Amino acid sequence: MMPALAPLPFATEACNDSGYDDEACSIGHDEAARRALRAALGQFATGVTVVTAAGADGQPVGVTINAFTSVSLAPPLLLWCLARASASLPALRAAPCHAINVLAGGQQALCRRFAARGVDRFAGVDCRPGPCGSVLIAGALATFICTHRSVRAVGDHVVFVVEVVAYASAPGAPLVFHGGAFAAVDAQ
Q: In angstroms, rounded to a whole number, what is the distance separating the alpha carbons of residues 145 and 106?
A: 22
Q: Using only the alpha carbons of the chain, give its radius of gyration.
A: 17
Residue 146 lies in a domain: yes
- Block mean pLDDT (10 aa), the chain, length 188: 51 48 47 81 86 93 94 96 95 95 95 94 94 93 96 94 95 90 75
Q: Which of 140, 141, 117, 114 is nearest to 60 (CA)?
A: 114
- Residue 179: left if φ>0, alpha if ψ -120 to 50, beta else—which one? left
Total of domains in the chain: 1
136 within some domain: yes
60 within some domain: yes
Measured between alpha carbons, how far is 29 from 24 in angstroms, rounded to an integer? 13
User: Where residue 76 sits, what CATH number does that domain have?
Assistant: 2.30.110.10
Residue 110 lies in a domain: yes
- Return the pLDDT at 14: 46
- Cα–Cα distance, 100 to 132 (Å, whole number): 13
- Cα–Cα dist 114/172, whole Å: 21
Q: Looking at the domain assignment, is residue 12 inside a domain?
A: no
Q: Looking at the domain assignment, is residue 107 inside a domain?
A: yes
Residue 171, domain extent: 46-177
Residue 38 located in a structural domain: no
Determine, yes or no, domain membership for 56.
Answer: yes
pTM across the whole model: 0.82
Would you call 33 helix, strand, or coil by DSSP?
Answer: helix
